[in-house]
Chain A
Amino acid sequence: MADILIDRVAKSFGAARALAEVSLQVADGEFVALLGPSGCGKTTLLRIVAGLETASGGRVVIGGRDVGALPPRARGIAMVFQNYAVFPHMTVADNIGFGLRMQKRPVEEVARQVGRAAEMLRISHLLDRWPARLSGGQRQRVAVARALAVQPAVLLMDEPLSNLDALLRLEMRADLKAVLREAGTTTLYVTHDQTEAMGLADRIAVMHGGVIEQIGAPGAIYARPATRFVGGFLGSPPMNFLLCSASGGRAAIGDFALAAPQDGAVMLGLRAEDAVPVGAAEGIPFDVRVVEPMGAHLLLTGAVGDQPLRAIAPPDAAIAPGARIGLRPDPARLSWFDPETGRRLEAA
């Protein structure tokens, strides 16, 4: 077990900047997700921690030891790759035991650890099989078992679920969470899937353009995004943004007014589920253009004035396309952003 300290790590590929002095601390036993769109630098950061990529600047400290000069094999890490990288020329058992055999552990210990890891991932019945005969989900379990078998101080995972189909991903996500909780391994997990990050992580670091925009618990990041980007990246449908102007501490949207943190141009961040549809006479005036029944709720797409907006309504609400309704926002769950910088504005 160990903690990870990422201290002002930077990386450039020629003139292209992939990471700009990123700092992050992962506590012993903590699960942190690096979340962001492709090209945000999350995989590069993970590979620098693994030692598969060299940083242009900064330090990586694992368990109090600066690992900058160490090769991957000396860092006390294990890794799960996006395409699994399960060796095709070894049986499942040999794959899981690979790390232990490289460490020249006694045969009985290797067998015991392999058995334990296979049991954790529920693949004990596959130990004699060749990887080519396994399904994607089974191969994924082998990759995770191989990583856990070495009982690493730190587990690194690079988009481990992205090659699985949706149903399998859901199942594997829950299994992964249970297994990692049991193992108690410090984990750094790269994903572009916000539901994966929300569901698995103790804390999420949202990355964008080579910087970490916000670090925090999933609930906190979701409820109080530090930037417009974070608000828009987390949640489905994404957060709505309404540009409005405020004076005297009140922002006007149509005939509706809300308490604003500052005067002048401000941007309201409103999540679909944080506003209740009400009659046209009250709330934010919303012109519904499309109504999509999603089962659990209705997804409404339309506009406030000329600004697009998505809202949700109870599944049995009688709302027709073309109707004008009102949206009454929950004042405690609103976010305000500076339209220029995209940074969160706090109420005075």
Chain B
Amino acid sequence: MAPKPWVPYLLIAPAVLFLGALFLLPLVQTLVLSLQGEGGLSFANYARMLGDLNFADALRNTFLLTLVVVPVQIALALLMATMIARIGAGRDLVLWVWVIPLAISDLAAGLAWLAILQSTGYLNSVLFALGLLDGPTPWLTQETPVVLFIGIALAEIWRATAIVLVILVAGMQLIPKEFGEAAEVFGASPWQRFRRVTLPLLKPSIQSALILRTVLAFEVFAVVYALGGRNFPVLVGEAYVWQGENQNTGVAAAYAALIMLISMLATFVYLRVLRTPREQMA
């Protein structure tokens, strides 16, 4: 039977239609919405967003959170993936336990950490029992911004490191073990083996993980909302407030467009900086 050239296109058509209808179309609509002013196209919504009282805080907080959380997650996941690679029996069980947070929704994760960090939560109970506190102390307020930030960062790291781990473990399995053995025979210490062989060969996986985690970090919302509410404004949270409380879809769309722009720029940077030339692929 002669191969029909249109068969592959037919087979990907449902996925293309699905993505087109439910991603591309809303995306364009959002952009249009954000640019709609009274009587035609304008940047009024963007001007209003920039002039918003919370805008600077939200932008700063989102970037700060991303800059702290993503590197820590990559470093932690690298460490965990390296440890997993050394485990013989029980490896699957350890991996399974480590990726449990993946199964929990981000709001539920936020609520779990709220139970720990709120004024009558587990942390304060322990500190009180140890005699370090005199009574219930609020941590998640505007008066304690550092603790609030650390709490949110911790919850995010706990919740979303596993997805990085999964990507890196899969990537490490693709590296033939002879590369590590060759490095070992030719005098590389464990750290040199990691630095000179594992890390460069893992670059494509690290790139994927970075893109995924960074894009998602810029979209952080539920955990922040559960722990800090508007004490810790972030970009998606502001879009939510403008859409829900202020009933202003235009400014909400402007926030959404800004988040998209930032995500695309970050992805572009990762694609360029962490590019692996074809001739250097494992």
Contact surface of A with B, Cβ cutoff 8 Å: 50-52, 71-73, 77-79, 81-83, 85, 87-89, 98-99, 102-103, 130, 132-133, 146, 150
Contacts and interface: CB of A to CB of B under 8 A. Distances in A.
Name the residue in B179, B187, B279 with the highest tally of chain A Cβ atoms < 10 Å from its Cβ.
Answer: B187
B4 interface: no
A78 B188 contact: no
Contacts of B201: 88-89
6 contacts: A72-B185, A81-B178, A88-B282, A99-B187, A102-B187, A132-B278
A21 to B, nearest CB: 26
B42 interface: no
Interface in B249-282: 276-282
A43 to B, nearest CB: 12
Contacts of A51: 185
A316 B281 CA distance: 55
Interface in B186-209: 186-189, 192, 197, 200-201, 203
Given A81-B178, A83-B178, A71 B279 contact: no
B182 A87 contact: yes
Contacts of A130: 277, 279-280
A102 B188 CA distance: 6
Contacts of B187: 73, 99, 102-103, 150
A198 B189 CA distance: 37
Contacts of A98: 183, 186
B176 interface: yes
Given A52-B181, A81-B181, A85-B178, A150 B186 contact: yes
B182 A52 contact: no
B184 interface: yes
A71 B187 CA distance: 9
B277 to A, nearest CB: 8
Contact of A87 (B197, B203, B277, B278): B197
A278 B187 CA distance: 62
A150 to B, nearest CB: 7
Interface of B: 176, 178-179, 181-189, 192, 197, 200-201, 203, 276-282
A38 to B, nearest CB: 18
A78 B280 contact: no
Given A72-B185, A103-B187, 10 more contacts: A73-B184, A77-B185, A79-B182, A81-B178, A88-B280, A88-B281, A102-B183, A102-B187, A146-B186, A150-B187
Contacts, number: 67
A89 B189 CA distance: 19
B179 A85 contact: yes
Given A102-B192, A133-B279, A89 B184 contact: no
Contacts of A52: 181, 184-185
Interface of B: prevailing SS: helix
A78 B279 contact: no
Contact of A73 (B176, B185, B277, B281): B185
B178 A73 contact: no
B55 to A, nearest CB: 43
Contact of B185 (A78, A82, A83, A87): A78
Nearest to B276: A89
A99 B279 CA distance: 22
A78 B186 contact: yes
The 9 closest A-B pairs by CB, nearest first: A102-B187, A99-B186, A85-B178, A85-B182, A130-B279, A89-B200, A73-B187, A132-B279, A79-B185
Contacts of A78: 185-186
A81 B188 contact: no
A71 B184 contact: yes
A105 to B, nearest CB: 10
Contact of A81 (B182, B200, B280): B182
A103 B279 CA distance: 27
Contacts of B277: 130
B137 to A, nearest CB: 51
A140 to B, nearest CB: 14
B280 A89 contact: yes
- Centre residue among B176, B185, B192, B203 by max chain A CB count within 10 A: B185
Contacts of B282: 88-89
Contacts of A87: 179, 182-183, 197
A103 B185 CA distance: 12
Nearest to A104: B187
Contacts of B183: 87, 98, 102
B189 A73 contact: yes
Nearest to A77: B185
Contacts of B189: 73
A88 B188 CA distance: 17
Interface centre among B182, B189, B200, B280 (most CB of A within 10 A): B182
Contact of A132 (B179, B203, B280): B280
Given A52-B181, A132-B281, A133-B279, A83 B186 contact: no
Nearest to B187: A102
A228 to B, nearest CB: 36
Contacts of A132: 278-281
Contacts of B279: 130, 132-133
A133 B281 CA distance: 11
Contacts of A133: 279
Contacts of B192: 102
B201 to A, nearest CB: 6
A98 B179 CA distance: 12
A16 B21 CA distance: 59
